[in-house]
Structure 1
Amino acid sequence: MEQSEQKKLRRLNAKGEFIHRNHDEYHYQIDTPKHRIREPYPWENGYIGQQTKITKEYFRCKGSGFNPPRTEENQTYFDCGGCHTHSLPIHQGKEFIYPILIDLLNFVQEKTHSKVIITCGHRCPAHNTYADSFNSTSKHMIGAEVDFYVEGRQEHPEEIIAILQKYYQENPQEYLEFERSYHHLDVAVPAWYNKEILIQLYQRKEGRDYDNQHEYPYICIQVRYDKEAKERVIYSWPKAFKGFRRY
């Protein structure tokens, strides 16, 4: 009862007044709104279309301490402890993957609107021996090689290779012309190469190392030339074995 009486008294005692102003009288001038394209949110910068943008983090070694010992020709190989036990290759004090590999894979995602699956990026020496003991000078160990396929387009790797070549047409560089190499005996299809990269196509029964046990054809890109340093990219033991941090 007391609350209702108080409400009645408030209404009776309430006072109001009209506010008068001229039609062209403004206290604050409001500018005419202009159409503007929305800037991306910070978290959207990590995407290319619907796909997550590829960074060097996607190239980390796929070794694992849970993998069992592997015996081959009376020799036993043990895998590394995993990417948490060592870094990527170190260049100028920072973890490093050759930028052209990252640029090419993101270009493929942009053109195909499909996800690139990296099956092998960096390999530490232990995992490289465990995965493929015959390839002792692999550029995977120096961050200059990547194996991958494109989700949903596994059966059409030639289309992806055409897109890789198109990258050099849309990005002004001096490496436009690709030639064919018939010297790579581990593949049936001759490789494509220009000054900067070499592209190999592995068919279903080719190149089946520990990291590529899937059933699909896959593409391998190797870096041949570092356009920033203006020098050839060549495997070396110090780069492979001493060029990364162990934790």
Structure 2
Amino acid sequence: MLYKSLFIFFILLLTSCNFNENKSNKIKNIKILEISRKKDDKYFDFEKVEMRKIRNYSFENEVDNLPKITKEYFRCKGNALNPERIDETNKEDIKVFLDCDGSSKHSLPIINGSENVYSILVELLNYIQKRTKKRVNITCGHRCPKHNAYSDFYLNAKTSKHMIGAEVDFYVDSYEYKPHDILEIIFNFYKEKKIYKNKTEYQNFYEYTKDLDVKAPAFYNKEIFIKTYDFDEGRDFSNRHPYPYISIQVLFDKDKNEKVSYSYEKANKNLLRF
């Protein structure tokens, strides 16, 4: 039994030595060959990869921690779920109005080839936000003809520039009862912007008091017409809040060098319907 055990031991010892020797020889016999090729050699040509910045949604763009105002804020606020409204002004001709289906069923007006509002309105409201560092609340931007009729029964509303993307109603947080401060900011806009430099027809504002539906005088230059509504004036479906508010109408399109006026075609036949 002892001899058998010794025999197994020596066999294992010799096998182990042989294994180590073979492993050592294998390592010594390894040859390292250099790869010979030019530094510009390529198997495949790849286009240069550039990081693309993800575009923000309109509500993600901020100016002084306030959402940047875009045309999206002007979309028609009609809603088919709104209850019917009854105009009893003329008892002999009572009219019932239903609201439109909203901006999901029609576009903004087509201006210069795409759905839009007049750019000066967007510029002014963003400028006001930047100067005041307070949110501008748009109570009424674009109104399609059906929503316009639903919102405002008055005769002069039938030719409202809201329908052609050339009018906006708004008030400013913390300035609800100080609309005249906002008027001063608008006047300064035309004095500060280089595009209006030395153009007195834009920089100078004139008072207007004829045929107004408000107590305060209106102001205008070549491009815009501004009215200020008191807390008890101009109350329609779009302006049911308790604050005074400002209305700006576009008079002149400086990009196309033409006057801006309401027309049936612009209001009714200049929309995309879905």
TM range (shorter): 0.7 to 0.9
Of 172, 177, 182, which aligns to 1:150?
Answer: 172
Of 127, 135, 156, which aligns to 1:107?
Answer: 127
Map of 1:138 onto structure 2: 160
1:57 aligns with 2:79: no
Map of 1:84 onto structure 2: 104
Distance 1:144 1:169 in 2: 22
Of 97, 101, 104, which aligns to 2:117?
Answer: 97
Map of 1:200 onto structure 2: 227
Distance 2:152 2:63 in 1: 33
Higher mean C-alpha deviation, range 122-131 or range 91-100:
91-100
Distance 2:113 2:104 in 1: 18
| Deviation by residue 1:50-88 (Cα, 9 ceiling, x = unmatched) | 111000000000110011111112100111011111100
1:184: Cα distance to partner?
Answer: 3.8
Judging by fraction of residues, say which structure has more helix.
Answer: 2
Answer whether contact 1:184 1:190 (CA < 8 A) is retained: no
1:180 aligns with 2:195: no
Unpaired segments ≥5 residues, structure 2: 1-52, 89-93
Map of 1:170 onto structure 2: 192
Distance 1:93 1:226 in 2: 15
- Report SS of the residue matched to 1:199: strand
Map of 1:72 onto structure 2: 87
Answer whether contact 1:47 1:53 (CA < 8 A) is retained: yes
1:43: Cα distance to partner?
Answer: 4.7
Change (3 A) 1:155 1:229: same
- Report SS of the residue matched to 1:164: helix
Q: TM-score, normalised by structure 2?
A: 0.73
Q: Please, what is the CA RMSD of the aligned residues? A: 1.6
Distance 1:202 1:119 in 2: 13
- Report SS of the residue matched to 2:158: coil
1:42: Cα distance to partner?
Answer: 6.0
Answer whether contact 1:114 1:152 (CA < 8 A) is retained: yes
Aligned sequence identity (%): 49
- Report SS of the residue matched to 2:148: helix
- Report SS of the residue matched to 2:189: helix
Answer whether contact 2:83 2:98 (CA < 8 A) is retained: yes
Bigger Rg, structure 1 or 2: 2
Of 113, 127, 133, which aligns to 2:147?
Answer: 127
Answer whether contact 2:252 2:259 (CA < 8 A) is retained: yes
**Where in structure 1 do 4 or more consecutive aligned residues deviate above 3 Å?**
40-45
Map of 1:161 onto structure 2: 183
1:133: Cα distance to partner?
Answer: 2.3
Change (3 A) 1:216 1:46: same
- Report SS of the residue matched to 1:126: helix
Distance 2:73 2:120 in 1: 14
Distance 2:256 2:69 in 1: 23
Answer whether contact 2:111 2:118 (CA < 8 A) is retained: no
Matches within 5 A, 1:209-220: 209-220=236-247
Unpaired segments ≥5 residues, structure 1: 1-39
Change (3 A) 1:43 1:85: closer
